[in-house]
Amino acid sequence: MIKGKRLFLISFFVLLFSLITNINTIKADSINDYIIANKIQPAGITYQEGTFSHWTGYRYGVGQPEGVIVHETSEANVSAQQFADRFNAQWPTLQTYVHAFVDDKQVLNIHNTDYTVWGAGPTANSRFIQVELCRVNTREEFAHSLVNDANYIASKLIQYNLPDVAGETVLSHQQTSLLWHQTKHTDPVYYFSTWGYDMNQFNDLISYYYNNQKGYGNIYGSDHVIRVKNNNASYVPLVSFNADGSLSKEETRALSNDTSWYTDKSRNYDGMTYHRVATNEWVADTYKL
């Protein structure tokens, strides 16, 4: 009898721990979805000119960057402000400097992006804006830091009228190392991997913000534009309504996953909200990101 009670208590606490973990944890493979679904807002860019005293134009001139390099600090428990303070005090000794530091709470721009910095070797330095992502300790903090970093990068691409092209206008430090062999750094690849994340996913988030900023002036788009995804299939089903207002039992056409659609009307039926994307084609709210 005692053994049975013990097993019951063990099972109860395992279940309780599981529930708590699920409440407080963002699944790694859904971080972008989580960000978009919750419309996590980025921190504003704080411009705080640092001590870096080299005012060198890019290879095509002042104010002519060709893209952005994504760095990661490789040091835990140091905020954007703390890193900025350190760089400002020590850059002559460190012989390195970047344009901005980003953590989960702040985007701190410390050198005018019209001019170069020293962060990825001479060739990359002469071409790219460079931003460092600070390490954080929880998935919630990681999600917020990604939002801040992706929004900063998208904003800089737009500021300088640059296209968003992964591997060309947005590169990881690792990619610049492999291209020009002037550094041996591989960031942010390892750090991203510790959260089950990668540069492809980060590029997707940057593109999402870039396109929405350009199209709507808002990183999450217009209230009349929805983005859809079916986690259980490669397409999102559409339904129609009969003349009497009942839901047709047959699905009509379908939408591609991870696509955005203009919707001009919503209606409720049997406890579900549907959004109209064509004359009589509707998508269920459960597929909206």
pLDDT tens-digit series, residues 56-89: 999 999 999 999 999 999 999 999 999 999 999 9
Q: What is the CATH number of domain 26-216?
A: 3.40.80.10
- Picking from 53-57, 165-169, 247-251, which range would have the lowest pLDDT averaged per residue? 247-251
pLDDT of residue 258: 84
pLDDT in tens, 6-56: 544 444 443 444 333 333 345 544 899 999 989 999 999 999 999 999 999
Higher pLDDT, 65 or 251: 65
pLDDT of residue 222: 77
Q: What percent of the chain has pLDDT over 90?
A: 78
Radius of gyration of the chain (CA): 23
Residues contacting 75, CB < 8 A, separation 6+? 135
pLDDT in tens, 125-147: 999 999 999 999 999 999 999 99
Average pLDDT over every residue of 221-235: 87
pLDDT of residue 216: 84
Domain boundaries, the chain: 26-216, 225-287
Asked whether residue 185 carries a pLDDT value surpassing 50, the answer given is yes
pLDDT of residue 142: 98
pLDDT of residue 27: 55
Instruction: Please give the DSSP secondary-structure letter assigned to residue 218.
Output: S
CA 84 to chain centre: 22
pLDDT in tens, 90-127: 999 999 999 999 999 999 999 999 999 999 999 999 99
d(CA 196, CA 142): 11
pLDDT of residue 17: 41
Q: How many residues does the chain have?
A: 289
d(CA 14, CA 210): 43
Q: At what angle do helices 139-159 and 31-38 cross, to 10 degrees?
A: 80
> Residue 225: in which H helix or E strand, if any?
strand 225-228
168 to each of 100, 140, 157, 172, 244, how far by Cα in Å?
A: 20, 30, 12, 10, 54
